[in-house]
Amino acid sequence: MSEDHIHTQPWSPPEGYHQVESRVPGVVVFAPEPEHAPDDQAVSYACPNCGANTAYDVAAGGVACEYCGYVAKVKTAQVGRFADDFEFTLETLSQARQGWGTQRQVLHCDSCGADLSISEGALTTVCAFCASNQVNVITSPQETLRPRFLIPFKIPPEETLPRAKAWLGKGWYHPDALRSNVIVRRFYGLYLPFWTFNAMVNAKWRAQIGYQQTERHYNASQKRWETRTRIVWKWESGQVNLTIDDLLISGSAPQHLSHRILGELNPFNLNELVAYSPDFLAGWQAQAYETTLPEAWEMGKKNIRELAKKACYQDMPSNQVRNFTMHADFSDESWRYILLPVYLAAYRYEGKVYQVMVNGQSGVVAGSKPVAWWKVWLAIAAILTPGTFLTLIGLPLALLGGLGILAIALGIILFVGGAIISINLYQHVRKSESN
């Protein structure tokens, strides 16, 4: 500490500092500005050349004006898996950055209840979840955490319909009408919220492990030595260490967006994560998270602990296990709130709504499709017929003797095999139909 008796110039804080609350009168305190503070300013997406609305253009990789051809590259950095993550502090929620950083509004769909954040000016839209146009504006929730990173769209919108048409055309048990061009009219590019979690897990297990032992014993009744196998149980313990890297949990509510379909869109290449910039959202829809961080972390923990349990079982020297217990200690847990690009379309078929999604990064298509059940039942009947027929033929033959028993046996085997195939087919078909 120096003493300066002739110091006369007024002191001013260095750049990048702002005044914060002081708990002692007479003391002024400055702290570094929070990161990305400029993003808190509202951003207007008007073309500097012609004044028309601009939007993020996938092909151009920047904000573009479709009228005059103006393009501005997005100023951001690719951070990939090295993107900053955050600890589970008790004050995380209050400290987390809030808002979207640009003038966005939340549209609430009265039909399905989904909340959509859309650009200023787009007061109404077709709900991407239920194809309803019954939407109205509600205030954006202040408690919404701010997304820090996202993967920009790489698949241009014009590629979505051909991909979807190809996907819809696959599968013999779907209605032929699905191959029509008009069944899906338009995809909506949507940034969906995801939580990613990292953690180190040290899992200690203890269990009785069964070892097969072969021993010889004398069979007094048979008056001979025999070999028999028995299981010897031994208490054993061990530990495994797991590194969980970027476990993805959807931030969308399952009642609005099928987590099954979302899961089929994986994987997303998180090496292409970039720092969040509102430019990426210009002209696109983005969904705020509905599953909160604690809720998502609970889901993540359930997944992780099952992974740890599986790793513990793999650590055991035998498949014979009983009285299994384990403690999974988590450490260095961290999270990120990111946006991932998905094209979403909803279409109606015979009064029922189906969802189709296209991975905006890889182009993978997943969704639900209606089923032409008459085709399925016909197939099942065809599968079961040989067994049934052979059994029926075998019955009178059996009364006459000869090959009848063989035919019945073969018929039953075919029937059982057909039944198994039919059940699997039924379940598969049901799954493809459900959202």
Partner 1 sequence: MEKAIPSEEIVLADQTLWHTDRQPAGCSHCRRVYLVAANYHGTDCPLCRKGILEAQPAYVRRAAPEKMLPFRITQKALLPIYERFVSGVWIKPEDFNPQSLLNNTRAVFWPLWLVDSDVSGPWQMSAGFDYQVESAREVYTDGRWHSQAQIETRLRWETRLGTLDTRVDNVITPALEEHENRMQMTGPYPLEKSHDFDASLLGGAFLELPDIPPETAWPLARPDIDKALTKICQEAAGAQHFRDFTMRARFGEQNWTEFFLPIYTTHYTDDEGQPQVLVINGETGTIRGPRLASRQRGGRIAGIIGAVAGGLLLLALLGLLLTVVFPPGALIAGVTGILGLAAGILAIVVAIWPGQWNRKQGGPRIAERP
In the bound complex, what is the minimum distance in angstroms from residue 88's beta carbon to partner 1?
5
Q: How many CB atoms lie within 10 A of CB 353?
A: 16
In the bound complex, what is the minimum distance in angstroms from residue 299's beta carbon to partner 1?
12
Query: Which two structure tokens, joined as six digits, stand for 300?
Result: 């993540």
Rounded Cα gap, residues 9 and 319, in angstroms: 78
Q: Which is nearer to partner 1, 116 or 328 (CB)?
A: 328
In the bound complex, what is the minimum distance in angstroms from residue 325's beta carbon to partner 1?
5
Angle, alpha carbons 326-328-334 (nearest 5°): 165
Give every CB contact of residue 171 below 8 A, 6+ residues apart in sequence. Answer: 369, 432
For the chain, state the CA radius of gyration. 31
Q: Is 327 in the site for partner 1 (CB under 8 A)?
A: yes
Residues in 78-97 at the binding interface with partner 1, rule: CB under 8 A? 87-91
Q: Which is nearer to partner 1, 88 or 389 (CB)?
A: 88
Peptide bond into 162 cis (omega under 30): no
In the bound complex, what is the minimum distance in angstroms from residue 196's beta carbon to partner 1?
16
Residues in 266-325 at the binding interface with partner 1, rule: CB under 8 A? 301-302, 304-305, 308-309, 324-325
Binding string, 207-246, against partner 1, x = CB under 8 A?
Answer: ----------------------------------------
Among residues 300, 251, 307, the alpha carbon closest in space to that of 88 is found at 300
147 near 337, Cβ under 8 Å? Answer: yes
Q: Which is nearer to partner 1, 204 or 260 (CB)?
A: 204
Q: Which is nearer to partner 1, 19 or 134 (CB)?
A: 19
Q: Is 15 in the site for partner 1 (CB under 8 A)?
A: no
Q: Which is nearer to partner 1, 95 or 219 (CB)?
A: 95
Rounded Cα gap, residues 392 and 108, in angstroms: 61
The alpha helices in 96-225, defined as continuous H runs, are 160-169
In the bound complex, what is the minimum distance in angstroms from residue 25's beta carbon to partner 1?
8
Give every CB contact of residue 296 below 8 A, 6+ residues apart in sequence. Answer: 195, 197, 249, 250, 251, 289
Among residues 263, 261, 209, the alpha carbon closest in space to that of 233 is found at 209
In the bound complex, what is the minimum distance in angstroms from residue 233's beta carbon to partner 1?
18
* Site residues (vs partner 1, CB under 8 A): 1-5, 7, 11, 13-14, 17, 19, 21-32, 87-91, 199, 301-302, 304-305, 308-309, 324-331, 333
